[in-house]
Structure 1
Amino acid sequence: MVRYAGIEGGGTTWRVAIAEGDPRNIIARETFDTRGPEETLQDIVDWLKANGPFDAMGVATFGPVDPNPNSEYYGYITNTPKKLWNFADVLGTFKRAFPGVPAAFDTDVNAPALAEFSFNAAEGDTSCMYVTVGTGVGVGLVINSKTVHGLVHPEGGHLKLPRRPQDINGAFDCSCSFHGDCVEGICASGALAAFKVGPGVQAMKPRRGAYPYSTLTLISQP
């Protein structure tokens, strides 16, 4: 039976899983805190070696990423607000660790968009959009049964979103290091947790969610 490895990278955690036959049939999974790229990716490589072998792998990660297979930076996280991950060679790390294993690569929002399109809410439709709000804000698109790429990939997190006048001057600081006001810098979990709502309100705590089978869907598609 064919075995798939799925790797999903987020700003707070990275998740990895093995599935047999169907990407929804997950037989092993693990979650790792996001640290620097060397430590985090090596932990995942070690886990995959301990839980392998597998026949193919799908990799999806926060961005911006380079999804162009003809680019010298294909499979990299590029110029990201998460400074430790600037130009991290994510896909290359896994391909070097598992030579000869076919690999698919996309964003951590296009992959779940494809999973929703293939199995869940959008099943039977021709297109769908997936929006995630977490450590960052992202948008994934499937149009005519294929994930959408352009110059890079669909961008929803860094669209201009002006703050209200009463939220300026320290009341609600934009957390994005690139923009004074944008959707991600105002609406992502870190920005909301830092919102100065007054005394007696507890800070938000990160939540470790269940593993999505989205990256397993990536590699299982024809």
Structure 2
Amino acid sequence: MYLGAIEAGGTKFVCAVSNEQLEIVDQVCIPTTTPQETLRKVFSFFNQYELRSMGIGSFGPIDINIQSATYGFITSTPKPGWRNFDFLGTIKKHYQVPVAWTTDVNAAAYGEYKKGSARDDASCLYLTVGTGIGGGAVIDGKLLEAFGHPEMGHVLVRTHEEDTFQGSCPYHGNCLEGMASGPAIEGRTGRKAQSLKKEDSVWEMEAYYLAQALNNYTLILRPDKIILGGGVMNQIHLFPLIRTAFEELNNAYVPVPVLEQYIVAPGLGDHAGITGCLLLASTLEVEKES
């Protein structure tokens, strides 16, 4: 029997099965189209295997409140066709196994906590900066969840004094996602992030917005480590700019670890999410057998 994992993103679904040692034996990448078409391919993949449990990390917002009538749904996403979709319920109709259900960024945070950059820390925060911005956190081994899950990408930020861009978020305009996501960079410059030179002045603005958010997270959660992933953060020259801007904003108000060890890249690279999903599936299996 195998552990199953779904890292469900707005662009693609990564599905994997592993043995009990979390060694991946098969994996597939499926474009995210309509729920019906996407899940038909998901089922075709997993139907080849006998599953013991599954972990799902989904794009959101999602409903994680088990008391809610829409528990397991993707809720107010702008992704066409997925709004108010019963994702977890649809999976459970096909597979009668325990399923861990959380956000894609929570899953990535858990993967980094157990196997990645934060494996020696008591807590961590993971922020992905790409088409959207989202964050998850692990505190003393547990995902940060309560009535709902964190929506770290939609915190409000102060506008850079030289920035005339109004923001790209359809809900809030100039929130963090609206000002610092990949679409925000493209909306401001007319070019995709990966095509810009590292000397471009837009990166100072990008660092300014991200540093504001990291300063806020630091003041509220005081994590041991902050991990920055996603396509925008492939521009590695951003890291020193963010650390410098963070240091200025913090202004020595609260102590933090050495910044080169505090604000870091993912240790698992692009595999943090799927690793976290498998780890969550294995945790369910332990609970089941205990």
Coarse TM-score class (shorter-chain normalised)? 0.7 to 0.9
**Counterparts of 1:127 and 1:7 in 2: how far apart (Å)?**
24
Tell me the SS of whatever aligns to 1:105: strand
Matched, 1:215 2:277: yes
Paired residue for 1:13? 12
Residue in structure 2 matching 1:35, options 33, 36, 39: 33
Paired residue for 1:181? 174
State which drifts further: 209-218 or 76-85.
209-218
**Counterparts of 1:140 and 1:17 in 2: how far apart (Å)?**
21
> Residues 105 and 129 (structure 1 numbering): CA distance in 2 closer, same or farther, change over 3 Å?
same
Matched, 1:81 2:73: no
Offset at residue 82 of structure 1 (A): 2.3
Structure-to-structure mapping, 1:41-120, within 5 angstroms: 41-49=39-47, 51-98=48-95, 100-120=96-116
> Residues 128 and 58 (structure 1 numbering): CA distance in 2 closer, same or farther, change over 3 Å?
same
> Residues 166 and 123 (structure 1 numbering): CA distance in 2 closer, same or farther, change over 3 Å?
closer
**Counterparts of 1:210 and 1:203 in 2: how far apart (Å)?**
18
Q: Give a deviation string over 1:168-201, Cα, whole Å, max 9, x none.
A: 3xxx35221111211112222222233335xxx5
**Counterparts of 1:21 and 1:48 in 2: how far apart (Å)?**
16
Tell me the SS of whatever aligns to 1:91: helix
Q: Contact (CA 8 Å) 2:64, 2:147: kept in 1 or not?
A: no
Offset at residue 95 of structure 1 (A): 0.7
**Counterparts of 1:182 and 1:81 in 2: how far apart (Å)?**
16
Using the aligned pairs only, state the percent identity.
37
**Counterparts of 1:73 and 1:117 in 2: how far apart (Å)?**
29
Structure-to-structure mapping, 1:122-137, within 5 angstroms: 122-137=118-133
When you count helix as a share of all residues, which structure comes out higher?
2
Offset at residue 38 of structure 1 (A): 2.0
Q: Contact (CA 8 Å) 2:65, 2:146: kept in 1 or not?
A: no
Q: Contact (CA 8 Å) 1:58, 1:218: kept in 2 or not?
A: yes
**Counterparts of 1:55 and 1:15 in 2: how far apart (Å)?**
19
Q: Give the superposed CA RMSD.
A: 2.3
TM-score (norm 1): 0.85
Offset at residue 203 of structure 1 (A): 7.5
Q: Contact (CA 8 Å) 2:185, 2:193: kept in 1 or not?
A: no
Residue 281 of structure 2 aligns to which amino acid in structure 1? Answer: I
> Residues 83 and 142 (structure 1 numbering): CA distance in 2 closer, same or farther, change over 3 Å?
same
Aligned length: 211
Paired residue for 2:21? 22
Q: Give a deviation string over 1:185-220, Cα, whole Å, max 9, x none.
A: 2222222233335xxx5675997x854322111111
Tell me the SS of whatever aligns to 2:153: coil
Offset at residue 41 of structure 1 (A): 1.9
Unaligned stretches of 5+ in structure 2? 196-229, 232-268
Tell me the SS of whatever aligns to 1:117: helix
**Counterparts of 1:167 and 1:87 in 2: how far apart (Å)?**
35
Offset at residue 55 of structure 1 (A): 1.1
**Counterparts of 2:11 and 2:161 in 1: how far apart (Å)?**
31
Matched, 1:138 2:142: no
> Residues 153 and 52 (structure 1 numbering): CA distance in 2 closer, same or farther, change over 3 Å?
same
Q: Contact (CA 8 Å) 1:7, 1:60: kept in 2 or not?
A: yes
Residue 32 of structure 2 aligns to which amino acid in structure 1? Answer: T
**Counterparts of 2:130 and 2:154 in 1: how far apart (Å)?**
14
Residue 220 of structure 1 aligns to which amino acid in structure 2? Answer: S
Tell me the SS of whatever aligns to 2:70: coil
